[in-house]
Amino acid sequence: MQAVLKDGTEIGLSEAGWLDNLDEWNEELAAVIAVNEKVELTDEHWDIINEARTFFYDEGKVCDPRKFSKLMKAKYGADRSDSKYIYGLFPYGLIKSANKIAGLPRPKGCS
């Protein structure tokens, strides 16, 4: 287990950097996790993070990449929805990077 400090409080992360307690997530913690993921957050990053979080809390599970691309296309258009675009913002992709920064649980089968 590893941890990050946020406002003097230690927040537990798994060995792979996933948040142990989803209730501890907030935007400031997302920024700390993003640094670990080598991501500098912009408004476009936040659009993906917020869409991923909305899907999770509406559906009770993380969104698979294909379905997520369709959701992004419907809301933001084709130029902001394909995997190339998402990997351009999150070098490790939706599942390994964006969901981690969004404070979502680690999907089964994801290292």
**Residue positions annotated with a catalytic role:** 110
Cα angle, residue 72 at apex, residues 70 and 75 outer, rounded to 5°: 110
Task: Classify the phi-psi angles of 74: left when phi > 0, otherwise alpha if psi is within -120 to 50, otherwise beta.
Answer: alpha
Q: What burial letters (b/e) apply to 50-61, b meaning 16+ CB within 10 Å?
A: ebbbebbeeeee
Distance CA 95, CA 85 (A): 14
